[in-house]
Amino acid sequence: MRDNDVASILNTYSGLSYQPPSGQYTVAASFCLLSASTSPKVISIATGTKCLPTSRYPLKGEALLDNHAEILARRGAIRWFLLEVLRSSSDCSGAYESPWIERRLNERFKLKEGGDASMRILAMGQDREMAALKNSSIFAPLGENETSRGRDNYARLGVLRTKPGRADSPSTMCMACSDKIASWSVLGFQGALATRFIEPLYLSSIVIGEVPLDVRDIVREDCDRALWKRIGSSEDWPPGYSIHVPAIVFTDQPFIHSRTVIETVQPSRGSCNEALSWVADTFPHEFLINGIKRGVSPKHRFREKSRPSTSRIAMLHLYNRILEAQKLPPLNPSSTYHESKMSMMSYQAAKEKLIGKDGAFSGWVRSGAKWQNFALSQSKDDLGGIATPEITTD
């Protein structure tokens, strides 16, 4: 990815006119499509550094559990691809031809030849005091298939970790962003539901900002280890799945709301509680807090116009719209989100090989069906999730 491609992302972000509270910083991530035959396409942008504590997980899929920029941007990218499939499936005249995806004989879509997906992450420094505290602590050795809590003891390289990083925050079942991105190196970033319509989508490159020149070789080596090498060299994956190695690239272009930039003007007042989610070719972008749209009261969060467009229940509705557009049997109203995901047998087989008992990521924390047993016919009167707002720090 060239610097002018990165500039395109930053210009799109600036056009959203988002301004965190004074003195607060955030992290941004974006997914961008690149092709030799057409201009780059920014398909999603997100900011965010928070996640919901497990005690506040929603039972009806209306709130986002992980509001870190990388994860929100990935969910936005999935939504864009699903909408592109819907556009391609709904146009019976054939007048619409996507410049990015094409339908194969097996009826699934794939990226057109020469198309690549890239992700840009803007790095964030952590609290120096917290880093010192975590590094000075003594931890018992990890047992087999166990994960490490947040940033506990940086000397433990290659282990799976749960969010959040801060020791003084409520615990969650969200895996660290590096663990999730590593899983995309095998499973693709499209997730389970989208595999019904799209072949696995892999990142060709990951662009990271605000990394000093003198440590880039070290950071690149760390990224290679974290994002694909620790998975191992197994080639016995289900058809269509294999380990893909993203190129690690750096950019000197600054992000206007990063901690580094904010602290050149005034002392930082910490990371922003809000998150932003923007998906190309849709309107408008969304501001999120506690995993739901900013300003939406708890009793109204089930309304279609009130829930985040990348929430689980919203994605399930979009999935069903595509089924109908392709003249396929729609979901039974009582079919759950969890059942729909588990029905993607090839994807689940690849995931089980990765995180199952003998997998490289066997310590992966599974949130389970408890928070995925909602259906299209869910009761709109059931609040079933976040009773009162609560913020988890980064």
Q: What is the pLDDT of residue 153?
A: 55
Per the CB < 8 A criterion, the answer to whether 152 and 220 are in contact is no
Assigned token pair, 65: 């559990």
pLDDT at residue 166, rounded to an integer: 62
* Average pLDDT per consecutive 10 residues, the chain (394 residues; last block may be shorter): 84 93 94 88 96 91 95 98 94 78 88 85 48 45 58 62 69 86 96 97 94 94 94 88 95 93 90 96 92 88 89 96 95 94 97 94 87 80 37 40
Q: Which residues are within 8 A (CB) of 215 and not within 5 positions of it... i.e. 6 or more apart?
A: none
**What per-residue confidence (pLDDT) applies to 180?**
94
For residue 45, the cross-strand partners are 30, 278
Question: Among all chains, which residue has been given the structure tokens 């989100």?
Answer: 337
Of the candidates 48, 45, 24, 65, the one whose C-alpha atom is nearest the C-alpha of residue 394 is 48
Q: What is the Cα 295 distance to its own chain's centre? A: 23
